[in-house]
Amino acid sequence: MNISFHGAARTVTGSKHLLTLNSGKKILLDCGLFQGMGKDTMPLNAEFGFDPASIHYLVLSHAHIDHSGLIPKLYKEGFRGIIYATPATKELGSILLEDSATIQRDDTKFINKRRAKQGLPPYEALYDLEDAAEVLNLFKTIPYGEWTKLEDGIELLFTDAGHIIGSAAVHLRIHENGKTTRISFSGDVGRYNDAILRAPATFDQADYIILESTYGNKLHNEVFGTIDALEKWIHHTCIEKKGKLIIPAFSVGRTQELLYALNQLDLENRLPKVPFYVDSPLSREATAVLKNYPSYFNKKIQKVMEHDEGA
């Protein structure tokens, strides 16, 4: 077996790890888009470094674009294998990939206008809305905790990574030459004591672990800040200064944490009478997906839900 790294190596976006088995079978772990690397970004996303049509299986750890954003390009360039993901990752992925295709289209239009003025040939968008829609037909979903045989000699298991809804650590058991090799790929790992999600699940020993360490050199607060700090900023900005508090937040994960904190303040009668808005259709769609998977929530929230049902 051979493992090669085609992204998220010496950087933290563009996750793509390729396993080539002795049988020639190829398993790709994640297919992320490189993001935010200035002028280096475009060439990195232009070439995979392998033939997309040669991939038999793609295993997707979670729906964030730096892990999934090149799946439609993989499809466009000939990939017709099976994509394994959890049900929530597929649902969230369908929203995020459509959004990404729209961004690709608009960005390319903008860049090409400038290139035309400079007399340069136009760039082609990485993929279009059709690629993003058609690739959804290749998904097969597997819930957490169920070993699944992909074919003789290849077994797959997802465990909860507690990072975003549906996020998983990926575990493979590869049987070749009379030997079993256990490989675990962390994907992005969530926090203990998350406001909404369950803590990352533990998993069995592996022979090889592929571990992402985006914040490996930083200490994080247990939660994104305290609810008291949020209350203080609301009072300071909206009441004392009579201003508007604008909070930039990622659509998946952070927006829902903020809504949860605002709701908490409201329940405790600590929220002044000011309207608040989620000014992002994408965030609202992502929040709707979250509501479909109550069993992925942490115990604290599940208790509140049971209480609501009983009331």
Residues forming the site for Zn ion (CB under 5 A): 64, 188
Contacts of 292 (CB under 8 A, 6+ apart): 88, 91
| 197 secondary structure, DSSP code | B
Least Å distance between CB 41 and Zn ion? 18
- How far apart, in Å, are the Cα atoms of 78 and each of 15, 44, 51, 135? 19, 19, 8, 11
Nearer to Zn ion, 65 or 74 (CB): 65
Rounded CA-CA distance 34/15 in Å is 8
Nearer to Zn ion, 188 or 257 (CB): 188
Which strands, in side-by-side order, build the sheet including 148-151? 148-151, 154-160, 168-176, 179-185, 208-210
Nearer to Zn ion, 17 or 26 (CB): 17
Nearer to Zn ion, 112 or 287 (CB): 287
Nearer to Zn ion, 64 or 171 (CB): 64
- How far apart, in Å, are the Cα atoms of 72 and each of 46, 78, 276? 13, 10, 35
| 297 secondary structure, DSSP code | B
**Lookup: tokens for 263:** 């709701």
**Lookup: tokens for 141:** 């979903």
Least Å distance between CB 60 and Zn ion? 11
CA neighbor of 64 nearest in space, from 32, 86, 41: 32
Going by their DSSP bridges, the two strands 139-141 and 2-5 should be labelled as: unpaired
Least Å distance between CB 63 and Zn ion? 8
SS3 (DSSP) at 63:
coil
Least Å distance between CB 227 and Zn ion? 24
Q: Which single residue is written with the structure tokens 């937040």? A: 249
Nearer to Zn ion, 70 or 174 (CB): 70
Nearer to Zn ion, 9 or 239 (CB): 9
